[in-house]
Amino acid sequence: MSGGGFHVHGPHDHELEHATHGSAHGNGMTNQIAMFTAIIATVGAIFAYMGGATQANAGLYKNNAALKKTEASNQWNYFQAKSTKQSLAEVSRDLTPKDGEKAKYQAKIDRYEKEKGEIKVVAEKLEAEATDWDKRSDEQMHQHHRWAQATTVLQVAIALAAIALLTRKKWLEYAMFAGGAIGMGVGILAMLHI
């Protein structure tokens, strides 16, 4: 309304009022699609967040696996160094003519053998941890793909909703609802880790 007490309509105002008036008085299809779109968009945003979270977890778990593999490799290198020292002690024992020296080298050989056993236990434990982290990463990536699939189907359902609203085609509205149901189903599979 202007200051002089009269109101001037623009060319689009009449259409806007007509559209608003139609939806306010129960334009079923428009209201139904609008409500569906709002709900599906909200659920899709939650699914997208969950997809991002599982992807981040998968990356962290894969990083943990790499760290454990590096630690295991270090242990195996240490094991190899002890094996090399043991081999040198065996050669020295076998080449020395003195019995006292042979006993000294044999004590070293026995010590290296014991140390290698301890190192092997640590290395195998680290390898098992790395394998566990890899498995957890793979599980998170599988779940991430489920969340991404659910989000994609819900986005398609929202696009169908927009097309159904524009074209007023009932079959598109049914397709929109089917897409929403499928997207929700895939999201439930993601929640259940299936």
Mean pLDDT of 162-166: 89
Give CA–CA dist 178/45, Å, rounded.
19
Residue pLDDT, tens place only, 140-152: 999 999 999 999 9
Q: Rounded to two decimals, what is the model's pTM? A: 0.70
Residue 81 identity? A
Q: Which has the higher per-residue pLDDT, 184 or 23?
A: 184
- Using the CB atoms, write b or e for 139-161: b if 16+ within 10 Å: ebbebbbbbbbbbbbbbbbbebb
Mean pLDDT of 125-152: 95
Pick from 84, 61, 74: which is nearest to 131 by CA?
61
Residue pLDDT, tens place only, 98-120: 888 889 999 999 999 999 999 99
Mean pLDDT of 48-64: 95
Query: Residue 160: which residues within 8 A CB-CB, separation 6 or more?
Result: 172, 175, 176, 179
How many residues are given for the chain? 194
Pair of tokens at residue 95: 């080449």
Instruction: Compute the radius of gyration of the chain from its Cα atoms.
Output: 35
